[in-house]
Structure 1
Amino acid sequence: MDFAPGQPADKNIVDRSRASANAPLTRAIRATREKLQTGTLASGPQFRREMTLLHANALLQNAAAAPLLVILAGALSVYFLHTLNLVAWVIVTLVVYAGVTLVARRTPHDLSAADSSRWRRRFLAAHIVVGLCWTWFAVIGCADCDGPAFLLLKGLMLLVALAMTAMSSFTIRGAVPLAFTPPVAALAVEAALTRGPYEIGIFAVMAGALGFFEFVAGRMHDSHVKLLSFQSEKDSLIAELEVANSLSDEARRRAEEANLAKSRFLASMSHELRTPLNAILGFSQVMKDGVLGPMENDTYRDYVGDIHRSGAHLLDLINEILDLSRIEAGRYELQEEAIELRELAEDCIGMVQLRARAKDITITSRFEQKLPAVWVDERALRQVVLNLLSNAVKFTPQNGSIEVKVGWTAGGGQYVSIKDNGPGIPEEEIPLVLSAFGQGAIAIKSAEQGTGLGLPIVQAVLDKHDGEFVLRSKLRRGTEAIAILPPRRVLESVAPIDQEAPRRKVRANAGS
């Protein structure tokens, strides 16, 4: 079909030009997969940005711990050692820690990957300044202090400060050595100059602690790197799944649109398809019956019969296709009324009885008595029963038998069962038989091939009635087809109203 320039195409037809809209999504999937395969998620700029933000957050959370340690060191020196040597150091160190906290607070939450290196350098510089403050603390002496108490105080405070720094600054490599290598170097110089046992002991403890805490900080850093890497991989996989899901939804939507367009086209073409076929059938019937005079040529007469039979077969095919298309397009509306399922089954048996007798097939019926009426579309349900009976007659061999049953279901509904002793259907072919245009191997070999739409129409009609279709079959043992109507389709019989009861009640009240 050609469209004139400027004429919009049918929106229900799949627009192949929209395939290019998925190109960015496809590229995103490919890039994510390459990152996962090469392991570059954790080492890229985005990773450094996350670690910088985590370091700033850790400094803010521990902002009060280091100043409290500094104040505690000054207070202990005043209270126990009666010296004011640490007052100036306390003031300067508190100012430095306040500056570090201010830097951490000013770190932008939307830090770009390009700026992460600059902010890392700022934090490292802040740790160097903090390290200089602790170096000052390490070299402060106390001439008035008796014994090693002041040295022990300095060693204890430096050890605690080292541990706190290692626990809060492991997110940035090099923070611990930059901050505490100068104090340890100062302790080493002091131990070398004095050669005192306490100085040497404090230096040895601090040097060992610096190595240990640097090792611990490195392990914690690596563990956090792995956690971030796993988190990034998880987020990337989730993103990939979401993209794949969106692609799947788009493909399904296109398929549904294409199927709906097909169904709407076929449903709207019913008049155009049936009108010429009715003319062919009518004129071929006139020619076959010789209404306008006998046809002298026997070959032509046979041709006319072939034309009529082929036209009737084609009309049946079109009617079934249109019925299924109307159901799929949502244009199949039920004209519901109360009918007796038993009477409908008897009428349908009468319609196929002539074909059954031609093959010497016996049709027996077993109907439960006093079944209430059901609320259904009579034409649609008649089509269901006729399709099932026609299939049974078609595939039942000569001298076979068919059993038709109508009765109650266990749940309170009603059913029609049609069972034959034909060749049956292999179990693996049942899904194929129930699909549109699907035919089993036996049907393909049969001389009476159909359209393959009978059972799909049966399923669709029963589904419109909220019913169920069950097909049971075994090879060389026959087939049983069951059409089930739900309990809500069964009309309950109501006892007749006694119109004289109110009058008798009034007369009884008046007499009393």
Structure 2
Amino acid sequence: MPLLRSNTADKFIVDRRKPHRNSDVARAVRRTRDRLSQQAGNLDFDRELLKLHARSMMGGVIAIPLLVLAIAAAGLLAGMDKQIAVWALFMLICYTVVSFMARRVERTEASELDPSRTQRDFLIGHSLCGLGWAWFAWLGCATCQIDQFQIVKAMVLLVAMAATSVMASSLSGALLATFAVPVAVYAYAGARFWMPIEMIMAALLVAALPFFIYVARNLNRSSLMLLSFRSEKDALIAEVETAKSMSDEARRRAEDANLAKSRFLASMSHELRTPLNAILGFSEVMANEVLGPMSNPTYRDYAHDVHESGQHLLDLINEILDLSRIEAGRYQISEEPVMLPNVVEDCCHMMELKARNKDIRVVQDFETTLPRLFADERAVRQITLNLLSNAIKFTASGGEVRVRVGWTAGGGQYISVKDNGPGIPEEEIPVVLSAFGQGSIAIKSAEQGTGLGLPIVQGLLAMHGGEFELHSKLREGTEAIAIFPLSRVMEELPALPTKAVAARRR
């Protein structure tokens, strides 16, 4: 029979079947970095410039045709013949062709453009428009009522050159292809009449053409810089996406590893408890001599040691199971009305023998009028016992542990366990609060623990919507505070000022 492979990742730290997103983002980074390093003459860079030129022509598609229509209307009103209307129609056709070319380029993907062919087509279109302007420069007006008609034509050509230098700056050579012939025709016409004013305007146009070419070249450099900045922005965005993708991947791997760890600990702890119960049972029978007296007292002492070691191991396994269930979200709390002072008092009685053996005095300071708390009594007992166990463990002989139960400034309830032990260095508090974390004092102590008590306390309080605070000063002592929120209090009490609550804690 064929083996069925489970879809879960119980036995794998990382599920390799999940798709990785880093490859796509890495390719995007390489593309943007290549684009950032491009210069004019590179195919991809030229494609971007052509796209930019197409957008510019589409943005100014109305400006020059409106100028042409205005010139035609003014010419007809001034008494020119129908030749001006034919010229206007030709110009509109030329600029319509250029606008259609720009629209086609704008809708085409940059990777599908042929830069040399597209640039050639654009230059041909601008050259056709230049022929139209050359026609305009050659037009005469013997019957019109416009004085200095040649000056008017020169001003119109200057306006058209200025507009084209701005609109077509992204395409090198567009201005020259459009107005080289018109300027030459105007200069030839002015030289033919040999009028001083026409010669001056012709010289002005000849001088204006390289000037506007210079302006267009500077605008072209600005376009190149714009593309470079845009490429840099794309590169930065791609790097951010890469970092985010790597962070998500690392988080996913960490979650998978944490889940695998929790399941491994839960599985191993369960497997260990089965033989451990037999060890505890038989060692207790031997230590208590249930089946008869043992002739050698050393064997009886060994049986006591085996039982105590097994009990310690069982407590450790139970802590690991509790922490694993909390991290896996499988810990179920059974909520019921709980009198917090009564539960804490019972826990103090349970720890009294251990405290008496170390000559430690446990002082109880409970608020007697506290209302009932809606919580899991077993979890509350575990929180209290863990805090008391830590306090007694690290308090020297002859010391004191003060246990307080009261309400917070916000109307909730708290359990405070304060000792006068060696304290915890401030930089070690995050280590102590982490799973399996132990401070330097705990490591040096003869009573070493597993470092699971405080993480279990934090997890149980978080399941109740509460908070945990740990305040400690070196060589002065430590105070651990378990806070239950107002929503857990069954009969609400008025909130007290913070100063009043602090005064009660002193």
Q: TM-score range by the shorter chain?
A: 0.7 to 0.9
Give the corresponding residue for 1:69. 67
Spell out, residue by residue over 1:189-238, the C-alpha distance to the aligned partner (whole angstroms, 9 max, x if none): 34555543123211111012212211222222221222232223212322
SS at structure 1 position matched to 2:438: coil
> Structure 2 CA distance, aligned partners of 1:416 and 1:370?
15
Query: Cα 1:487–1:204, aligned 2, differ >3 Å: closer, same or farther?
Result: same
Spell out, residue by residue over 1:7-50, the C-alpha distance to the aligned partner (whole angstroms, 9 max, x if none): 447424334645884562364265157437x6228875444334
Aligned match for 2:93, one of 85, 95, 99? 95
Give the corresponding residue for 1:40. 38
Q: Is the 8 A contact 2:151 2:198 kept in 1?
A: no
> Structure 2 CA distance, aligned partners of 1:33 and 1:87?
50
Give the corresponding residue for 1:233. 232
Q: Is the 8 A contact 1:52 1:172 kept in 2?
A: yes
Report the alpha carbon displacement of residue 170 of structure 1 after superposing the two structures with TM.
1.5
Query: Cα 1:248–1:283, aligned 2, differ >3 Å: closer, same or farther?
Result: same
> Structure 1 CA distance, aligned partners of 2:339 and 2:95?
93
Q: Is the 8 A contact 2:33 2:235 kept in 1?
A: no
Q: Is the 8 A contact 1:436 1:456 kept in 2?
A: yes
Equivalence map 1:412-423=2 (5 Å): 412-423=411-422
Query: Cα 1:69–1:391, aligned 2, differ >3 Å: closer, same or farther?
Result: closer
Query: Cα 1:173–1:403, aligned 2, differ >3 Å: closer, same or farther?
Result: same
SS at structure 1 position matched to 2:410: coil
Query: Cα 1:85–1:347, aligned 2, differ >3 Å: closer, same or farther?
Result: closer
Give the corresponding residue for 2:251. 252
Spell out, residue by residue over 1:451-497, the C-alpha distance to the aligned partner (whole angstroms, 9 max, x if none): 11111111111111111111111111011111111122222289xxx
Give the corresponding residue for 1:350. 349
Give the corresponding residue for 1:508. none
Report the alpha carbon displacement of residue 252 of structure 1 after superposing the two structures with TM.
1.0
Q: Is the 8 A contact 1:48 1:116 kept in 2?
A: no
Equivalence map 1:127-206=2 (5 Å): 127-142=126-141, 149-206=148-205
SS at structure 2 position matched to 1:120: helix
Report the alpha carbon displacement of residue 133 of structure 1 after superposing the two structures with TM.
2.0
Q: Is the 8 A contact 2:9 2:15 kept in 1?
A: no
Q: Which moved more, 1:365-374 or 1:447-456?
A: 365-374
Report the alpha carbon displacement of residue 401 of structure 1 after superposing the two structures with TM.
1.1
* TM-score between both structures, scaled by the size of structure 2: 0.88
Q: Is the 8 A contact 2:54 2:106 kept in 1?
A: no
Spell out, residue by residue over 1:146-179, the C-alpha distance to the aligned partner (whole angstroms, 9 max, x if none): 9962221221222222122222211211100111
Equivalence map 1:303-314=2 (5 Å): 303-314=302-313
> Structure 2 CA distance, aligned partners of 1:43 and 1:327?
63
Q: Is the 8 A contact 1:53 1:109 kept in 2?
A: no
> Structure 2 CA distance, aligned partners of 1:392 and 1:58?
76
Q: Which moved more, 1:414-423 or 1:150-159?
A: 150-159
Q: Is the 8 A contact 2:32 2:234 kept in 1?
A: no
The alignment of Structure 1 onto Structure 2 pairs a total of residues equal to 490
Equivalence map 1:383-462=2 (5 Å): 383-462=382-461
Query: Cα 1:443–1:81, aligned 2, differ >3 Å: closer, same or farther?
Result: same
> Structure 2 CA distance, aligned partners of 1:177 and 1:106?
23
Query: Cα 1:312–1:143, aligned 2, differ >3 Å: closer, same or farther?
Result: same
Q: Is the 8 A contact 1:130 1:179 kept in 2?
A: yes
Give the corresponding residue for 2:56. 58
Letter in 2 for 1:177: L
* Larger RCO (CA under 8 A, 6+ residues apart): 2
Query: Cα 1:6–1:344, aligned 2, differ >3 Å: closer, same or farther?
Result: closer
Spell out, residue by residue over 1:115-141, the C-alpha distance to the aligned partner (whole angstroms, 9 max, x if none): 242222111101111112222332344
Aligned match for 1:110, one of 98, 108, 111? 108
Letter in 2 for 1:165: T
> Is it true that 1:28 corresponds to 2:32 in the alignment?
no
SS at structure 2 position matched to 1:113: helix
Q: CA RMSD, aligned part only? A: 2.8
Q: Percent identity over the alignment?
A: 52
> Structure 1 CA distance, aligned partners of 2:371 and 2:40?
73
Give the corresponding residue for 2:504. none
Give the corresponding residue for 2:377. 378
> Structure 2 CA distance, aligned partners of 1:112 and 1:182?
32
Letter in 2 for 1:428: E
Report the alpha carbon displacement of residue 70 of structure 1 after superposing the two structures with TM.
3.2
> Structure 2 CA distance, aligned partners of 1:310 and 1:264?
25
